[in-house]
Amino acid sequence: MKFETMTVPENIQSDYLIATFYMKSDAEPDLYDWVKLVAADQSAGTWTHVEGETPEVIALYGAKVLGIYPMAGERACVTRIAFPTSNFPAYVPMIMSTVAGNVLGQDGIRLVDIEIPDSFLSQLPGPQLGVEGIRDLLNIRERPLVGAILKPCIGVPPEVSASGARKAAAGGADVIKDDELLSDPGYSPMTQRVKSVMAELKAIGKDKSVLYAVNITGENLVERAKWAIEAGANSIMVNYQAMGWGASEDLTRFLAREKINIPIFGHCAGMGAYYRSKTNGISTALSMGKMARLIGMDMPLVYPDSGRFGIDTNELVETHAMLTSPMGPIKRAFTTVAGGVHPGTIEYLMKLLGNDTILMAGGGIYGHPMGATAGAKAILQAIDAVMAGSTVAEAAKVHEELRAALEFWKK
């Protein structure tokens, strides 16, 4: 591999977006030339010289290779490439088209991260409420929030979902959401489900202190959001990867433009196609973390490191950091951990991630042997124990709901 001296523009931090790639190949004759081709392919050049490709055009609009860092023990490198922001608007689909574009169709290229200058970040929506806004809305200042995923997830009428919401809310759930599989089927029309759930929450005085994120995923997303809000929704949910980053970002921009301050729950359904490969696709922290935050998901779902959905501990921590660390003017998102969460996992997750999370359970609440209200209580009891500096095991000695949960899910 040969190295060359490159001229780095002085304005690289303000007028360029920097993408970090992991690149691995046993077939490419020269990794450095491969990196240069990637930079050319995704900006002002291509694999051969073409008419009009002047040095002036390349200087102004071509991507710049900032660094190539060989990996020990493998024929691979990490590289950072800077792309002029003058080439694309502050719109996530075009950002991804620029840095990922055609190159992710090649074997051995994985997009690890994107660094975006503050001047560009200020034009992207980000969460409308984020961590602080949701805490203000629910008046919960420090502890993690308790989340519930309505079960049964499909095949039931609105009244059953509403009853399930009431039970979880009565037990202390702060956020209740539809399953990603439930949107607007004939047996449970979306607007009717909103009305039924909100009526049950109001009946127990929880319609202002519990969020119900109704799944609006479907055709004409903005119109569907309007229908849900008109029906009384105080939160909405979208399967943002399935809908696409653009449609989801448009939804956030619409809410901001209309000054509709309700949070969006972002489900990552289908995102495994991006992150499961270690040598191709897009990193977990970028796909489920930073990009979800940039398009405006207030409560993006992240899988725990249980192994069921292919996330390891490092990826979970990195994704949480992408969602909650400072990012210029972009608000922090509320990391929502879901997928195999139950009272016995709470202490571990809180010690690993801290308190700015929503600890969300479906089976871990609705599968509780004493019922859903006890299931939500058990999770809240586990959270309160850790917040008090105790242990979940100690708390189980005085709380029968928590004790039953730990016994039931001890394996």
| Block mean pLDDT (10 aa), the chain, length 411 | 51 90 94 91 70 73 92 95 94 95 93 95 97 98 98 95 98 98 97 98 97 98 98 98 96 97 96 93 97 98 90 97 97 97 97 98 97 98 98 98 96 72
Q: Do 308 and 254 share a domain, yes or no?
A: yes
The reported pLDDT for the residue numbered 1 is: 41
Vertex 336 angle, CA 332 and 339, to 5°: 160
What pLDDT is recorded for position 20? 97
Domain around 374: 130-408
- Are residue 207 and residue 180 in the same domain, yes or no? yes
The answer as to whether 6 is a domain residue is: no
Q: According to the model, what pLDDT value does residue 14 have?
A: 87
Q: Which amino acid is at 398?
A: V
Q: Among 325, 264, 314, which Cα is nearest to 290's?
A: 325
Q: What residues are annotated to the active site?
A: 151, 267
78/135 same-domain check: no
Which of 74, 94, 121 lies at the terminal end of a domain, its last residue? 121
DSSP string covering 57-112, please? Answer: HHHHHS-EEEEEEEPTTSSEEEEEEEEEGGGS-S-HHHHHHHHTTTGGGSTTEEEE
Q: Does residue 1 lie in a domain region?
A: no
Q: Of 69, 99, 121, at which residue does a domain stop?
A: 121
User: Do 404 and 278 fall into the same domain?
Assistant: yes
Question: Same domain for 62 and 116?
Answer: yes
334 and 357 in a single domain? The answer is yes
Say if residue 110 is in the same domain as residue 236.
no
Domain count, the chain: 2
Model's pTM, two decimal places?
0.94
| Order of strands, sheet of 109-115, starting from the edge strand that comes earlier in the sequence | 64-70, 76-84, 16-24, 109-115, 281-282
The residue among 121, 146, 165 that closes a domain is 121
pLDDT at 47: 60
d(CA 377, CA 283): 35
Per-residue model confidence (pLDDT) at position 62: 83
Q: Which tokens is 2 given? A: 């040969």
Joined tokens for residue 45:
């050049």
